[in-house]
Amino acid sequence: MTTVETNISRILLKEEIQDFLFREAELLDERNFEEWLDLLTDDIRYWMPMRRNVKANELDREFTREGQDINWFDEGKGTLDRRVRQILTGVHWAEEPLSRICHFVTNVQLLGAEPSITDPIEVSVKCRFLIYRNRVQTETDFLIGKREDTLRKVNEEWKISQRKIILDQNVLLAKNLTFFF
Amino acid sequence: MATARKPRSKSSNRNSLVDLESGVISREIFVNPEIYAQEQEQLFARAWLFIGHQSQISKPGDFFVSSMGEESVILCRDRQNEIHVFLNSCTHRGMKVCRYDEGNTPVFSCPYHGWSFATDGKLVGVPYFKDAYKETLDKSKWGLPEVAQVCNYKGSIWATWDKHAPSFAEYMGGFTTYLDFLLDTWDGAGGETEVFGGIEKWVIPCNWKFPAENFIGDRYHNISHRSVDMAGVGPSGVGRRDTTEREGATALDISFPERGHGTITFLRPDDKKTTSYQHSKIVSEYFAHCESERQKNYGKWARLLPGPSTVFPNMSYLPRQPRSIAVWNPRGANSHEAWRWFLIDKNAPPEVREFLRHYYITYSGPSGLTEQDDMENWNYAHNASQGVIARRHPYNYQMGLGFDGPPVVTDGLEMPGQIRNVTDAFAGEQNQRGFYQRWSEFMSAPDWDALATWRNGNGKSH
Ligand code: FES
Ligand SMILES: [Fe+2]
């Protein structure tokens, strides 16, 4: 393949992945939680570490460890499914009435595609997010950070198989995390 | 937004704010900034406060930055293995000496003008000591301010700024009987407990007393967690907790009004063996093993299964499920910062560790399915209590007031505290009333001579 062809494949793939991420955000913001769950592989890992202030030479200790420490989130589809079901009970008071939420997804970078850019079955993609939440009357949160996702093709459809969420906060400034990143 | 305002009651006498004979408490004590300011002086500067766990500072030079009331403190193990708690503020011009959350250091160097403090708090380095100070600065007088007393109780570290405060043991009284179940290993054999890496810290927009009184004995708010019971986060995959271990147990509310502590505790019938945590083979075998060891080690005391509890004023804990410590750090009348430590037996097998870790995260804190609803309730209870009209209407703490619960049959267990059987009543508010009785005493007593009421024989001594 020529360089031009590879570049075109890359651009098309990036566009495709970006569309996927935007569509995902749309589902969440429109509160189609069950459809959103369908975008996750059955073996998804959903991880959001906590962040410590540490010395510059100890940055390996900045994040709490997946699978070992207490994290804001460190779970699979079963728990995510429970979170959705809890919201749908109509008596989950932290989300009843429902919050108004807007996901902004930007700075999308395609980091890799396996086995190839022309015929990928797995891609890794990094982006920035800004989540705006407003609930009841004046309660408002802005949550800003980075996301690293792995997407896998299952039956010709992209699904999320890994999501790492890096929130740029130390003390969590929101009282709860009742929504999805 | 409500602004500073004098209490509305006829007299500003605090007794009129907390009227326990009638079982009513003014909203002022939650929302009034002047009362909040007095709490800092009267309460947080005098009481014993929870700082952290010894497993967080296991080696010399290890430190963990914690909070006592509004103020940042450094918990540190010095070169001689002594545990210290210092104010995290430079004695020269107040700079926050340590802005890291935890780590290991030979010395704390102030970023502003470079004074440095050893791990025992002593001032050891002063730039231009010779030229600028002519070597006359008395370094021994300018170390980091240290708490008056510190205590390591079974791995939990506590401190107080008041040198006249009683010892930690006296401050707790018989309440350690219940606290022990949190700090001992699950089998009660006296092994080591540690905290998981990752201390949850988050802001809750309500007064710190909302969670403190919730944990001390609010069985009544069970209904608010209906959505979790429906979604099922419990350690056996259903409900919220695994309550099989409590089947047939007597539900007890235990209050220490003369000290302010309180706990929800279940008293099992003698022969009962727990069958909880049927999650997987390894996990259920482990807990079954711990349970039989627990019965051996605790003897008849193994019948006690303690639940949510609060050590006055602002440390709450869950000794069994999900085993954790919370501190409600005041941050103004209308807000506080919750900190959460999660405990695990050091020798727990990896499968058990993983199982508990997952349960802890999905139950507790901002991402926990259960506690999300608690925070919503505390947030908007506080929010709706700030107005002038709202403040004219006190909260109701009358549940069970003036009634004796049915007799408590303990079969020879000499359980400390004021015990109330709420098995049939389902809930009561004696623990909350005990908490606010103590709160009132702290707010008016001039010193610890007046606060140590149990010494002069009229309070029940435990
Ligand atoms: S403020 Fe610390 S050295 Fe000046
Ligand atoms: Fe609760």
Kindly give the confidence (pLDDT) of every residue in chain B, 462 residues in length, as a single tens digit, with 9 standing for 90 and above: 334 444 444 444 455 899 999 999 999 999 999 999 999 999 999 999 999 999 999 999 999 999 999 999 999 999 999 999 999 999 999 999 999 999 999 999 999 999 999 999 999 999 999 999 999 999 999 999 999 999 999 999 999 999 999 999 999 999 999 999 999 999 999 899 999 999 999 999 999 999 999 999 999 999 999 999 888 777 766 777 777 788 889 999 999 999 999 999 999 987 666 667 776 788 889 988 999 999 999 999 999 999 999 999 999 999 988 999 999 999 999 999 999 999 999 999 999 999 999 999 999 999 999 999 999 999 999 999 999 999 999 999 999 999 888 998 888 899 999 999 999 999 999 999 999 999 999 999 999 999 999 997 654 444
**pTM (whole model) above 0.80:** yes
Q: What are the chain A neighbours of B369 within 8 Å (beta carbons)? A: 82-83, 86
Angstrom distance (rounded) from CA B186 to CA B184 = 6
- Partner-chain contact B100 A94, CB within 8 Å: no
Confidence (pLDDT) at B1:
38
Residues B448, B166: contact at Cβ < 8 Å? Answer: yes
Confidence (pLDDT) at B457:
67
Does B120 share its domain with B223? no
To test the pocket of ligand 1, the residue of B113, B133, B144 to mutate (highest count of ligand atoms within 8 Å of its CB) is B113
Residue A180 located in a structural domain? no
- Partner-chain contact B99 A53, CB within 8 Å: yes
Which CATH number characterizes residue A98's domain? 3.10.450.50
Strands A40-48 and A157-167 turn out to be parallel
Confidence (pLDDT) at B2:
39
Instruction: For Cα atoms A134, A140, A143, give the angle at the middle one, nearest 5 degrees.
Output: 100
CA distance A164 to chain B (A): 15
Give the A:B interface size as CB pairs under 8 Å: 126
| Residue that is last in its domain, among B121, B149, B177 | B149
**Residue B123 alpha carbon to ligand 1 centre in Å:** 11
- In the beta sheet, which residues pair with residue B193? B345
Q: Give the residue on B whose Cα is nearest the Cα of A69.
A: B197
Does B270 share its domain with B385? yes
Angstrom distance (rounded) from CA A47 to CA B107 = 35
Which residue lies with its CA nearest to atom 1 of ligand 1? B93
Does B185 share its domain with B128? no
Ligand 1: residues within 6 Å at CB?
B 90, 92-95, 110, 112-115
Tokens of A46: 């959903």
Angstrom distance (rounded) from CA B381 to CA B385 = 6
Confidence (pLDDT) at B274:
67
Burial class (CB in 10 A: 0-12, 13-18, 19+), B13: exposed
Does B285 share its domain with B320? yes
Give the closest ligand to the alpha carbon of residue B369: 2
Q: Which atom of ligand 1 is nearest to the CA of B90?
A: 2
Q: Is B300 on the interface with A (CB under 8 A)?
A: no
**Number of structural domains in chain B:** 2
Which CATH number characterizes residue B111's domain? 2.102.10.10
Residue A132 located in a structural domain? yes
**Residue A46 alpha carbon to ligand 2 centre in Å:** 25
Amino acid at A180: F
CA distance B198 to chain A (A): 5
Kindly give the confidence (pLDDT) of every residue in chain A, 181 residues in length, as a single tens digit, with 9 standing for 90 and above: 788 999 999 999 999 999 999 999 999 999 999 999 999 999 999 999 999 999 999 999 999 999 999 999 999 999 999 999 999 999 999 999 999 999 999 999 999 999 999 999 999 999 999 999 999 999 999 999 999 999 999 999 999 999 999 999 999 999 999 999 9
Residue A112 located in a structural domain? yes
Q: Residue B260: which of B68, B46, B421 has the closest Cα?
A: B46
Residue B43 located in a structural domain? no
DSSP assignment of A85-104, as one string? HHHHTS--GGGSSPPEEEEE
Burial class (CB in 10 A: 0-12, 13-18, 19+), B1: exposed
Which of B230, B240, B352, B354 best probes binding to A when mutated, by most A CB atoms within 10 angstroms? B230
Confidence (pLDDT) at B410:
85
Minimum-distance CB partner of B231 among A86, A173, A177: A86
Residue A177 located in a structural domain? no
Residues B93, B232: contact at Cβ < 8 Å? Answer: no
Angstrom distance (rounded) from CA B399 to CA B121 = 49
Query: Per DSSP, which regions of B319-454 are E strands?
Result: 324-330, 336-345, 395-396, 418-421
**Number of structural domains in chain A:** 1
CA distance A67 to chain B (A): 8
Q: Residue A176: which of B230, B206, B322 has the closest Cα?
A: B206
Q: What does the buried/exposed string (b/e) look like for B69-101 if buried means 16 or more CB atoms within 10 Å of the residue's CB?
A: beebbbbbbbeeeebbbbbbbbbbeebebbebb
Instruction: For Cα atoms B108, B112, B114, give the angle at the middle one, nearest 5 degrees.
Output: 50
Q: What are the chain A neighbours of B358 within 8 Å (beta carbons)? A: 74-75, 79
Tokens of B141: 């007088």
* Distance (Å) of CA B52 to CA A43, A69, B94: 36, 17, 24
Confidence (pLDDT) at B427:
96
- Partner-chain contact A136 B380, CB within 8 Å: yes
Angstrom distance (rounded) from CA B119 to CA B61 = 6
**Residue B113 alpha carbon to ligand 1 centre in Å:** 5
| Residue that is last in its domain, among B80, B115, B149 | B149
Residue B170 located in a structural domain? yes
Q: Which residues surround ligand 2, an ion (CB under 5 A)?
A: B 374
B153: part of which helix (H) or strand (E)? strand B149-153
Residues 6+ apart with CB under 8 A from B165: B46, B47, B48, B148, B149, B171, B448
Q: Give the residue on B whose Cα is nearest the Cα of A181.
A: B367
Angstrom distance (rounded) from CA B389 to CA A124 = 56
**Structural domain that includes position B224:** 165-456
Residue B75 located in a structural domain? yes
Residue A127 located in a structural domain? yes
**Structural domain that includes position A131:** 3-167
Which of A45, A86, A98 best probes binding to B when mutated, by most B CB atoms within 10 angstroms? A86
Confidence (pLDDT) at B458:
52
